[in-house]
Structure 1
Amino acid sequence: MTEKTPTPPNRHDPHLDPAEDTDEPAFDWMKPAGGGSDTAATAKGTVPAGKSVPDTGRDQPAASAGTPARQAGASPAAASQSGASPSAASQTAASQSAAFRPGMPRAAASPQAESRADRKAAEAAVGPAAPEPQARGTHFREPLPTSALQVRPPQDEVERRNAEREHAANTKPVLPRVMQVLLAAFYPVILLVLAVRAVTSPLFLWVEYNRPGFPGDGYGFSTDDRMTYGSYAVDYLSNWSGARYLGELVNRSGDPLFQDGEVSHMADVKLVILSAFAGGTLLILLAIIAIIYLRRRSTGGVRRGLFAGSLATLVIILGLGTLAALGWQQFFTEFHRIFFASGTWTFALEDTLIRLFPGQFWVDAGIVIGALVLIASVMTLVLTWPTKKRRGIAPAKDGAAKDGTKDGTADEAAAL
């Protein structure tokens, strides 16, 4: 069979409407131009004998699709005759005309395909719909997991959580605070040891022997003799030599320079001085470790530790200076009783230690030690004074509130 083969006269047309809806507008192009007798009869309102009337609820809009204006105009009258309200009739006509449009598939001609404006107009005409009761047998729907976040716990629980958060925010780690306390405790001892080391030096010895007003030796030592023999004694305190370093020294006449008792006392002094220097060195290393830790772990921890240490140093040095000023001889005696055995540190005026280091020497040494410690502590106190800038508090802005809610006041309270 080819394209030029004539069509058989008794061939039936294929069945193209599986939904058995011959009035579907989508199939109007397949109908004859005349429209057929059934269509004409339906349009005139007469039905031939033996013909069934189609379902007007479904097919009427398709049959009258060509005259929407006349149908829309007749809807209010028809609605008034049937007893329905004009708004309901208009809504029904609008839904029928919108549900069935020529060329649109039936699946798309549902109320969901209406525009939003149409749905809003229909809802406004009908009024708010009453909530539908829950059907029997339906399951309860579990609320969303996030809906539990909107449930507020009891008031006591809220207060407990707020108290815990505030306590955690205000609680500071223990180790930084311990490091600050250690740094403050080490600082006075370190300053005192450094001041003693500055005094036990040939430079201080030279300044003392050459300053005006220093008492001379009544037994024949010149300034050069004092400087020479005194340098041996000072060097012995800081080196690792034994007692022979001083025991084998002789004067110009060939006699031993220091007696056995003097050498023994200088050995005791050397033990105290070296122990103080070793302890000071250890404290300096620990202080450096504390400073490094506080710089990394605690903002402003070094400043607070040094500030507290300088305050403690001022209190200690002022207290010791007051005791020394009230009674130097008593202070000097009690100091020697703490570190040396009784009877091992007293000598005659003609002994070499008394001739090299008279009483004025120890008074000047005490004054220099106290002055050095006082100057260092005051400088540290000034450099670490807790100003707003050092605490990181911004100055209050102009025009801020005066009730304590200014930026500077709030930041200062937070920093404290």
Structure 2
Amino acid sequence: MSDKSPKPQEPETDVHDDPDEPAFDWMKPRTSGGSSAASAPAGASSPSSDSDTSAPIQPESRADRKAAEAADAEPEPPLFADASASNPLASNPSSGQPAHYSEPLPTSALQVRPPEDEVARRNAEREQAAKVKPIGPRIFQVLLAVFYPVILLVLAVRAVTSPLFLWVEYNRPGFPGDGYGFSTDDRMTYGSYAVDYLSNWSGPRYLGGLVHEDGAKLFKDTEVSHMADVKLVILSSFGAGLLLIILSIIAILYLRKRSQGGVRRGLFAGSIVTLVIIIGLAVLAVLSWQTFFTEFHRIFFASGTWTFSLEDTLIRLFPGQFWVDAGIVIGALVFLAATVTFILTWPTRRRRGAGAKSSAVDDSEKEESFEDTPEDEAVRR
């Protein structure tokens, strides 16, 4: 390109050469009272004069345009304007204009703290409720104390009605022999049949079918009938003892979970009751064994069904000394078990302190659960 070549002409960008062009009205200085219309010639009609009321006026600067855009982007007024205007908490105190409507918080009721007397009354009710002990653990403690002596008695009777006790009795020194011909082996054999019949589910034929070497019946019909009555009493007592054991286990599990030291207190009371009962029965037996034995049989058996002659098989197998020894063994076993339980559950200072400490820990946990958290205090304030 030489210096003589013509230079390209720049486009005309001066808006002052064409003041009537409406496309450049926004670049002209804005004056009050419709300055854009006044700047036009008097005889010329401005195209924008007819649309002043409909077309928005362009802002002068970039900041003004941003402000105008922000004003256009404001959300519409809330539907519940009357509710927000009537709520003093929903207005902006700095601007004096009502804010948008909002639902109350779920904890708005906690912002108002109750009066001091109401707080004191509630605390007193909580303390009173904490001091009142539930009745459930007390009931189970009483049941455990009542069941315990019966369970010990049933277990002791079960220990006596066994072939082992028969063997010890027939082989111990001083046990009276049979004057009608039964040897120790005969007694052990026939006596084992009688004891086994008391704990099995066989009928009266189990004993009624036994015979001597000469073919005669071993037990008379009256003896078999009495043994059937004894079997009914024994099996009933064993069933009741098993049921009481199950209930006692349930009571122990409940007390271990709900009452600290409840098992110990129940067994301690039961051991005292057992000792009182067994000592009282032992005194009656020592004072008059025959009267005690007779009254015991009258309680469970009909009169005339439990008396036999010295020649009958039951008397030859189980003489009077056998029942005396059986009573001593039953009383000794129950007394020993109750004494051990009494010693192990004695409320010593250490055991009472452990129980009181656990109760204090439980009470402190309850009080901490009732105390207000810092968040609750902040909400109230």
TM (norm. structure 1) is 0.57
Alignment of 1:192 onto 2:153: yes
Q: Equivalents in 2 of 1:181, 1:228: separation in Å?
A: 44
Partner of 2:230: 269
Partner of 2:295: 334
Letter matched to residue 276 of structure 1: S
Q: Displacement of 1:146 after TM fit?
A: 8.9
Partner of 1:167: 128
Q: Equivalents in 2 of 1:166, 1:324: separation in Å?
A: 53
Provide, for residues 38-96 of structure 1, a one-character-per-residue CA deviation record: whole Å limited to 9, x for no partner: xxxxxxxxxxxxxxxxxxxxxxxxxxxxxxxxxxxxxxxxxxxxxxxxxxxxxxxxxxx
Q: Equivalents in 1 of 2:335, 2:288: separation in Å?
A: 20
Tell which deviates more after alignment, 296-305 or 369-378.
296-305
Alignment of 1:248 onto 2:233: no
Alignment of 1:258 onto 2:223: no
Partner of 1:153: 117
Provide, for residues 285-342 of structure 1, a one-character-per-residue CA deviation record: whole Å limited to 9, x for no partner: 1111111111111111111111111111001101111111111000000000000000
2:273 corresponds, among 298, 306, 312, to 312
Q: Assess, with a 3 A threshold, how the Cα gap between structure 1 residues 163 and 230 changes in structure 2: closer, same or farther.
A: same
Q: Equivalents in 2 of 1:146, 1:257: separation in Å?
A: 89
2:339 corresponds, among 375, 378, 382, to 378
Aligned pairs for 1:10-409 within 5 A: 149=113, 152-153=116-117, 158=120, 164-393=125-354
Q: Equivalents in 2 of 1:254, 1:146: separation in Å?
A: 96
Q: Displacement of 1:206 after TM fit?
A: 0.4
Partner of 2:12: none
User: Kindly, what percent of the aligned residue pairs are identical?
Assistant: 75
Q: Assess, with a 3 A threshold, how the Cα gap between structure 1 residues 276 and 146 changes in structure 2: closer, same or farther.
A: closer
Letter matched to residue 288 of structure 2: G
Q: Assess, with a 3 A threshold, how the Cα gap between structure 1 residues 151 and 264 changes in structure 2: closer, same or farther.
A: closer
Of structures 1 and 2, the larger Rg is shown by 1
Q: Equivalents in 2 of 1:232, 1:150: separation in Å?
A: 81
Aligned length: 253
Provide, for residues 127-149 of structure 1, a one-character-per-residue CA deviation record: whole Å limited to 9, x for no partner: xxxxxxxxxxxxxxxxxx99975
Q: Equivalents in 2 of 1:169, 1:305: separation in Å?
A: 22
Q: Equivalents in 2 of 1:331, 1:285: separation in Å?
A: 31
Partner SS, residue 154 of structure 2: helix
TM (norm. structure 2) is 0.62
Partner SS, residue 306 of structure 2: coil
Provide, for residues 258-298 of structure 1, a one-character-per-residue CA deviation record: whole Å limited to 9, x for no partner: 00000000000000000000000010011111111111111
Q: Equivalents in 2 of 1:309, 1:210: separation in Å?
A: 36
Structure 1 residues without counterparts, runs of 5 or longer:
1-144, 395-406
Letter matched to residue 291 of structure 2: Q
